Amino acid sequence: MSLKSKSNLITVLIHILIWVIFGVVLFLYQPLPWNVDIPVQFWIKQWLIFCFLVIAYYLNAKFLVPRFLLENRTALYFTFVIGLIVGLSVLFNQMDNFLNIHQLMDAAFHKHGPARHRERGRDIDIVSLALIALVLGVGTSFTAIQKWQGDIRLRAALEQEKISSELSFLKAQINPHFFFNTLNNIYALTSVNIDTSRKALHQLSRMMRYVLYDTQNATTLLSQEIAFIKDYINLMELRLTEKVTVSFQSPAVLKDVPLAPMLFLPFVENAFKHGISAVLPSNILISVEQYEERLVLKVENSVFDDQSASLEENKGIGLINTIRRLDLLYPGKYTLQINDQDINNIYSVHLTLNLL
């Protein structure tokens, strides 16, 4: 059963419950304590009252509340409601006269003791008046609550749609960014080693297949994301010199969990972009650790004097968008520490994700 069907079923059950309660008041609570032989005309009156209450309820709930109260025409709404209460009260009194209820009830009570029908008649009028007001109040409250809940659901749906659109836009920016950077690396390889560049193109095609087809859903598997990071590192190592040391560590025993795709790549890509020197020894350390439902990504790379001044200002679109994706996908469930002030000239990223 769909969510909408369940909601409709609950609404129907609530309406049934409301009318069962009012029916109990009209047909059991009022007449039973009297302990007299009640004439048929009284039951006819009670059924007519019940029918008019049903009409008043849905007239109020389906027309007056949506057209006036919810449209901020409050004064006009209460004018109609007061008129409806007065009109129904007069109608119910006229039914008493038409069906000769007072005389019939006099006779019924006279058989069982002193007649107190006038007081009892006034009690019935007061109860009827209160019942009309209660029926209209319940209808107003129920309709207003439904409108309020509908507005909440609509706002939530619009917010979710906005987030989904923004995530798609951010992801669409990250993928070409990665692709163009990698193509530039392969282009540089073609002038050095044709065979190596061919190998790199083959590896890139496998990675792009993952990017284009395996990351279309909202989540991917952690094992696939780690495999993608390994392929990326291998691709980058094809153009590195011996002065660059790259270390990658991943869990020996991996528990596959769903993860937002392409989430780790910008941090890794940033390390290769800023952590390599053509003449000085460079180090890049990448590790993925798993503790139950908690993931920890650590990325460290060397920072050189000609890079450190502009590193914070030049994070790049990939890294900025990834931080935005984290805000949208894991609000309150992640911590990100970026340190570019290390005394050993080490730029480090420490990302902790709670996937519960």
Whether residue 153 is found in the same domain as residue 199: no
Do 24 and 94 have their domain in common?
A: yes
139 is in which domain, residue-wise?
3-157
**29 and 113 assigned to the same domain:** yes
Range of weakest confidence among 135-149, 157-171, 215-229:
157-171
Q: Please, are residues 131 and 138 in contact by the beta-carbon 8 Å criterion?
A: no
Judgement on whether residues 229 and 307 belong to the same structural domain of the protein: yes
Residues 228 and 325 in one domain: yes
Same domain, residue pair 350 and 214: yes
pLDDT band of residue 108 (cuts 50, 70, 90) is low
| Domain containing residue 238: CATH number | 3.30.565.10
CA Rg value for the chain: 37
Residue 288 pLDDT > 90:
yes
Residue range 306-340, pLDDT digits in tens: 554 454 544 555 677 788 888 888 999 999 998 87
Question: 256 lies in a domain?
Answer: yes
| Residue listed under structure tokens 């302990």 | 35
User: What does the alpha-carbon distance between residue 88 and residue 5 come to, in Å, rounded to a whole number?
Assistant: 35
- For residue 118, pLDDT beyond 70: no
Q: Are residues 14 and 149 in the same domain?
A: yes
Residues 214 and 335 in one domain: yes
> Same domain for 101 and 25?
yes
Is residue 234 located within the same domain as residue 349?
Answer: yes
Count of Cβ atoms closer than 10 Å to residue 127 Cβ: 15
**Overall domain count for the chain:** 2
Do 214 and 313 fall into the same domain? yes
Judge whether 174 lies within some domain.
no
> Does residue 88 share a domain with residue 199?
no
